[in-house]
Structure 1
């Protein structure tokens, strides 16, 4: 793992857990009028969005709408559900990044929420030449599972279901085997020189231990959002567009 030893599960206060559940209500913004596409070859840096654990590209719709209104072309990751083997998802995201850069004709920004941001960091150290920068939203960057015992139990159940014939779920190897070792080493790789990297985190996060978001290579921006509501929070969206504005390519 990136951090030495095991990252101890934490138990968030009941008030934070209730607030976290309400954070899901922000995704009603995924329903609404379409925002026109933006020309990827002009204007602000194009953005490839990557969803969090157990969600898909649909969860990034509110954020992508905001980005297009601000002048950014947006692209989806192709993940119907971010639930599979970590190594396979890294490979998928890298191939998708190559496609988007070819279409855009220039480097793009990766914006990932939760586990999506963890995957973004892994891809960035492999293919920095394709990137204008990376922004992670409530993403564990110092360890892959700095979370609650309840979520750890769900992850372990998913690994058992994979063995029972559910191949779209992460594998036991992703938790304690070679996949875990390789991806944790990749996550802890030195950050590419001169590549912008911003980690937004919240002390109100009741899913990921916010300390694990504080990658020394990143610029840290504290916000007041919940974990689940990070991508739909208006303040986070404004901070994100302000950050990307300086990343012209």
Structure 2
């Protein structure tokens, strides 16, 4: 179990150079669109519900390509439907839990959660409260360990949410290893979140997948789209770690140690 707390040493946020490299997100969007024909080779899904959560100050528009792609791969995909993400205010947290309960009850199947950045932290928080309704969690460049202020966005978070980024209760739920299969996708060239804080400890049902991507472009990056589809396609109860064999070894770097 990840025992990191808000008292953990604060890793320095990404450098100004990495922040500047976030401008490549527009190129990554174009690459994601161009790669869609190739991405048809990604495994098809079994139709189970998938809930996709956007990052800080973003809306469902930011995850449109990812959701459209997963819909074409055979999933019942849903955006969060709560406008822009201004932080985990009580009403927002309750609404997300209600959405999971509704999708779970309607389909009779567990719900997979995908979250970009802050949305991934939400996904882990929700999985901690609804482990029997959640099938798996996939985070994209999300702050899931270390100190919550090891990013370039914590001031924006506090301004928009009106809450401290150092919330011991929520942070404990976010940093605690989920009881469901969990994949953390991260990039060492992330310009928003310190990449070491986006890595999940490898375990019986947990893993990390490294990609070469910006933070903002992670939900549209071709390598991320493929990895998400491949992870979701695993039969329930038969989770196996992501394999970097064949062509994947050239696309997905060997996961780095966060130390």
Residue equivalent to 1:89: 92
Deviations along 1:162-181, whole A, 9 cap, x unmatched?
xxxxxxx3123x335xxx12
> Is 2:135 the counterpart of 1:145?
no
Query: 2:171 matched to 1:171?
Result: no
Q: 1:120 to 1:12 in 2, by over 3 A?
A: same
Question: Is 1:4 aligned with 2:3?
Answer: no
**CA offsets per residue over residues 2-26 of structure 1, 9 Å max, x none?**
2424524424242x33331231465
Q: Look up the match of 2:251.
A: none
CA-CA distance at 1:69 after TM superposition: 1.3
Q: Does the 8 A contact of 1:75 with 1:100 survive in 2?
A: no
The correspondence of residues 54-203 of structure 1 with structure 2, limited to 5 A, is 54-142=57-145, 143-148=147-152, 151-156=153-158, 158=159, 169-172=160-163, 174-176=164-166, 180-192=167-179, 195-203=180-188
Task: Give the Cα–Cα distance (whole angstroms) in 1 for the partners of residues 48 and 127 of structure 2.
Answer: 16
Corresponding residue pairs, total: 219
**What is the rounded CA distance, in whole Å, between the counterparts of 2:49 and 2:92 in structure 1?**
21
Equivalent pair of 2:148/2:154 in contact (CA under 8 Å): no
Q: Secondary structure at the match of 1:230?
A: coil
Deviation of 1:144 after TM superposition, in Å, equals 3.2
CA distance in 2, matches of 1:85, 1:110: 16
Q: Among residues 168, 174, 193, which one is paired with 1:208 in the alignment?
A: 193
1:44 Cα deviation after fit: 3.5
Gaps of 5+ in 2: 34-44, 238-259
Question: TM-score normalised to the size of structure 1?
Answer: 0.78
Which residue of the partner structure matches residue 37 of structure 2?
Answer: none
Gap change, CA 1:24 and 1:52, over 3 Å in 2: farther
| Counterpart Cα distance in 2 of 1:63 and 1:83 | 21
Contact 1:27 1:232 in 2 (8 A): yes
Structure having the higher helix fraction is: 1
CA distance in 2, matches of 1:6, 1:88: 31
1:242 aligns with 2:230: yes
